[in-house]
A and B are shown apart, each in its own frame.
Chain A
Amino acid sequence: MINAVMIFTPRGELLVFKVFKSSVKRTISDIFRVQVINNDNIRSPILTLGSTTFHFIRTTAGSKLWLVAVTRSNADSGAIWEYLYKLNSLMEVYGLTHEDILKDEFIVCHELLDITLGMNGLPMDTELSSVIGKMTLKPAQVLTSSADRSDILASSVTTLGHNSTPISMPKFLSRNSNRSVTQEFESQFSPSNIPWRSRDIKYKKNEMIVNVIEKINVLVGKDDNILRAYVDGTIDITAHLSGMPMCQIGMNDLSTIQGGENAHWTNEDRASNRDAMPDVSGDRVILEGSKFHQCVALDKYNKDNVIWFIPPDGQFELMKYHVSNNLNLPFRITPQVTLTSHGTALSYAIKLKSLFPRKLSAENVVLRIPVPPGTLDCKINASDGKCKFIPEENCMVWSFHRFNGSTENHLNAQTVPTQSIASQSIKQWTRPPMSLDFKVLMFSNTGLIVRYLKVQEKNMHYNTIKWIKYISAAGSYEVRY
């Protein structure tokens, strides 16, 4: 499928060129350099020239390297891009994020490619733990393995080391187990057939860390209507468990797509009431489009709605979900932007209110407020936090180190335009939306709660220490005005 993989520096120097199927020559890199890297007008992540196709992405961390896959057939583009992103996150784990590091450690990169891509150009294995197992070198520090993790989240997860104390102790240390289900599960998943976990893993201290990370995406229209609001959530797990543990996780979820009667297998009464009050089914959260890691027994989930899995060793993303109903928005922004009497300046009156409980607080709250081009300065008056005008980005940045729950802050500002600015151009200004960035710990936008987490290893009976952490952060939180 993939004939060759190339990695370029941002300026177009070829760092890695690895051929998987013959019929591609090194000179193909020159063609890519001319057609894509040196071309400012490239508007598509894929380029087809004759029978040769380039799929490319930019790495997300460090210097923005080009990762390029060359193919000569009508290959599966989705798989290729997904592979490139997986490669990107593996390179990140191995610290290959800058061109000079890559130049020194290119052998690691070659080895990575060798392990992840088969000689027929098909991706083989990109699961972090098993790749590390096959590599001669171990990464300096194992970070999170989730593919699309933003910097904020990364920092928060890494700070959660082995011994850090989570904010609240989960109550799901239940020891009673459901034997019959376990056995059924076992028969389906004979341990020898599990490609993502090796058999002889041992830990002195058995731990499982669960991070529920929710990124909220909101778009508020001019008339204060919420045009779009949804949460993309992930449940990241770090498992340090011995043997072949079978785990079961339960949440207060209700999967809509299950439909029919078995969606409410736990509570018949609620099911019968549900038609009467469709979206407010008690404290249950309706998860749409849940996606699971390959270790989850999907057919089991579809049949009985239980999440059973044998986790890979170390960090992985157990599931992704999507929620668009009954969200607890953590902030409310009320902007008022008016033209001043001269018609050349804008005056802003913005109210930022936190809607989460008082005992919690948000970190790194940053509101970016665009101002029209040609603004020299802004007269700013904020009730709290710091607000600065950043001329090179044409915006004001209002930031809070800590924002307490159920509080309200105000910002009044007026732009100071250059003399030559015409009122017409202010009127025509496209007004890009204001965007808010934040992170709230131990708060769930969707109200999703992990109810229980059971770990069982039938040969070794051990107790598992379980940690849980909820993080709500902004995905794209935009307000038009």
Chain B
Amino acid sequence: MPPLDKKIKKFLKDSVRIAPKISSKGELTELRTGLVSPYPQTRKDAIKKTIQQMTVGKDVSSLFPDVLKNIATNDVEQKKLVYLYVMNYAETHPELCILAVNTFVTDSEDPNPLIRCMAVRTMSMIRVDKILDYLETPLRRTLQDDNPYVRKTAVICVAKVFQLDKQLCLNLGVLTDLVSALEDPNPVVVANTIASLTEIYAMDSTVINLNDLIQSHVSKFLLALNECTEWARITILTVLSKYSAKDSIEAQDIIDRVTAHLQHVNPAVVLATVKVIIINLDLTKPQINDPVMKKLSSAMISIMSTPPEIQFIALKNIRIILEKYPELLTKETRIFFVKFNDPLYVKLEKIEILVRLVDASNIKQCTILLNELKEYTREFEPEFVSKAIQALSQLAIKYSKESFCNKVLDILLELLERQDTFKDDCCIAISNLLRHCPTSTQMVTQACGLLNTWVEPELILNRDEAKCNYVWLLGQYPDKFSSLEERILGFVENFRQEDPLTQTAVLATIVRLHTRLPGTILQTILELATKETIVIDIRDMAMMYWRCLSIPGGDELVQQLCNTAPPAIDNILDTFPPEILKKLIQELATISSITFRPQATNAKKYVRPETVVKGKKLDELKNIAKNEIVKNDEVLLDFGDDATEENNKNTTTLDDLDDLFNFGTVLPKESNSGTNLESDFNKLGINGGRQDTNTTSTSTTTQDLMDLF
């Protein structure tokens, strides 16, 4: 036979694709036929199909041996596919992977670096202690590999192995190799090494002294910074932010070295750089016109042209930084003006920044912002308008001049006349303004004049805080309201349904005005407040008033108590307590800087216990694997058919929840889990309310859980 003919035959054989038959035996059998097909292309197709089934969540582990047969190939793509399959089961079915251990060891010496990587990577994911014995040589070898890409992967594998079997890792002494990898000439390897070390340190802080390592390698990190990929730069910058400089000279040096990265195109690099600079600024104490400050502010501004999610975290971080350096962005208010098509979460955060940013001594800027906020009150999203109303009062009080407050009041009153919604917000804002300018009779007359037109205020207002403020106004300026008695009676009738703030305000106001009101109201409210409320403070307060009123000369005492002027308010912007602020600055760019709840310092280090299959001989494991395959074979692909496993499934749901909330392991020790629960709650930024229901139900029946999810 001529060679050309042979070639053609081979080509034809290689490219034959056999269409899968529709057979009654089920999909798995079909796939298996494909996997053992003599035609390479058909086999490859079958592997793809198998992986497809796997990714949609079907259990195709019974095909393991058949897929594995295809690993010995020169076709890199096919090899990758097989590794993809194997890696997926390395986590869940470790015993199956034993079957492939020899291939892995061979592949770890493959001339192709990608394959070397995949081999060592897969091996370090298999949770069987016996395989770890095999791992030693390949891991050592790859740690010293010529190719930096392979070294980089090997370095990460060490952390993975550490997680699987700490003791083995220590016995092998690979940690020393890892530490020496910090000296690697390739910057990306250095970055990955320090990431691995950080991870190991988080699991067990006793095995390495991370801080010393960082300390002794700072200059190495600073050098590597300029030469590695953007993501490696983030890792290095994060590590640098954990380092505390010895003195202001070193701090200045670090600042100088990293400042260039404020101009990186990747916003995450910029945020990480900002963090390093802000932390080191503590030591250098720069003036506000220092070039570093200018660079910081222009870096922050440039993030405002990124996708909304990144703007969101930048805005949150700006809010933290502004507490520490309030003048940082003062000249740049306009960039934070809301765009019409910004997502709501960005809009709300921008308003927060604007009122904090504005320079209270700059009338022009304040007026521009005032007009801008006024514009926002015309928008249609209710949360946004509420925030704008709140910001208006914050701005007025920040600027502090009475004439300015008057302007704001005019805007609010106009808004109230134009629209029926937002009465709550306006009421709160007006009360704040009046408290800030207690002497301005004109403002009082104007404001109360409008509030006086409301009929049944207890029904118009919804929020507790708004009602409380309204009642306080009644007590403060009783002369400005008509039919005072009726208004107060309305609140008294609803007393039982009100929330604590309103209850307190109603009680205090009636006592304060008792000389103007019929005695029965006083009597009713004192009785209601002592008997019907569940809040102890209110009951005590009522008791006290009652006693005061009943002693001789009590009237005067009560007058004295009630008519003391409340302290004027200068600032209604929320601020962070100093220690929280300090922690938040340490945690800039992380999730906790979005929720404003710093990670608890003594938070339990939760490391999911890996269930390593131990103490079994290889042969034994192989038997297990075979049995498993046989067993699975019968179940075939019935992922949906779990009626028989109902019990089983219940527990897994519970497991998942435990997983989600992370206190599964400590659940039996109730006393302990209490604090954990709290810290978990602390971490809930966004929807604390929903969280509540979830956690309480953990302790109730599993069935409820099933309903929930």
Contact = CB atoms under 8 A, between A and B. Distances in A.
Contacts of B340: 432-433, 435, 476, 478
B302 A77 contact: no
Contacts of B690: 35
B229 A124 contact: yes
Interface stretch (B10-18, B211-219, B513-521, B652-660): B652-660
B52 interface: yes
Given A23-B608, A23-B659, A292-B265, A120 B156 contact: yes
Given A76-B590, A193-B186, A85 B307 contact: yes
A362 B188 CA distance: 46
20 contacts: A45-B309, A47-B686, A48-B591, A48-B686, A49-B684, A72-B662, A76-B272, A79-B589, A82-B268, A82-B310, A119-B160, A120-B159, A194-B227, A219-B339, A221-B375, A257-B291, A259-B291, A294-B230, A430-B380, A478-B340
A47 B599 CA distance: 16
B265 to A, nearest CB: 4
Given A320-B302, A476-B339, A74 B592 contact: yes
Interface in B480-507: none
Contacts of A85: 307, 310
A84 B259 CA distance: 26
B235 A75 contact: no
B231 A124 contact: yes
Nearest to B691: A49
Nearest to B310: A81
Given A193-B227, A228-B334, A55 B309 contact: yes
A106 interface: yes
Interface residues on A, range: 35 or more
Contacts of A134: 114
B192 interface: yes
Interface stretch (A26-34, A157-165, A269-277): A26-34
Nearest to A196: B229
A433 B55 CA distance: 46
B599 A28 contact: no
Contacts of A24: 659
A48 B302 contact: no
Interface string A451-481: 0000000000000000000000000101010
A288 B160 contact: no
Given A45-B308, A78-B268, A118 B263 contact: no
A319 interface: yes
A231 B368 CA distance: 21
Interface of A: 14, 16-17, 19, 22-28, 30-31, 34-35, 43-53, 55, 57, 71-79, 81-85, 106-107, 110-111, 114, 118-120, 122-127, 134, 136, 147-148, 189, 193-196, 217, 219, 221, 227-228, 230, 232, 256-260, 288-294, 297-299, 301-302, 317, 319-320, 322, 324, 427-428, 430-433, 435, 476, 478, 480
B272 A78 contact: yes
B312 interface: yes
A228 B335 contact: yes
Interface residues of B, number: 117
A174 B556 CA distance: 94
Interface string B49-75: 001100111000000000000000000
B268 A291 contact: no
A466 to B, nearest CB: 22
A230 B334 CA distance: 10
A6 B291 CA distance: 43
Interface of B: 48, 51-52, 55-57, 76-77, 80-81, 84, 91, 114, 121, 125, 152-153, 156-157, 159-160, 185-188, 192, 195-196, 199, 202, 226-231, 233-235, 238, 259-261, 263-268, 270-272, 291, 294-295, 298-299, 301-302, 305-310, 312-314, 334-335, 337, 339-341, 343-345, 368, 371-372, 375, 378-380, 383, 418-419, 587, 589-595, 599, 606, 608, 610, 652-653, 655-656, 659-662, 680, 683-687, 690-691, 694, 709
B195 A51 contact: no
B265 A77 contact: no
B226 A46 contact: no
A195 B229 contact: yes
A28 B686 contact: no
Given A26-B57, A78-B267, A193-B187, 17 more contacts: A30-B709, A50-B683, A55-B309, A74-B591, A76-B589, A77-B591, A78-B313, A81-B307, A85-B310, A114-B84, A120-B196, A125-B231, A195-B227, A221-B375, A299-B260, A320-B265, A322-B301
B337 A76 contact: no
A400 to B, nearest CB: 22
Given A106-B52, A289-B301, A317 B268 contact: no
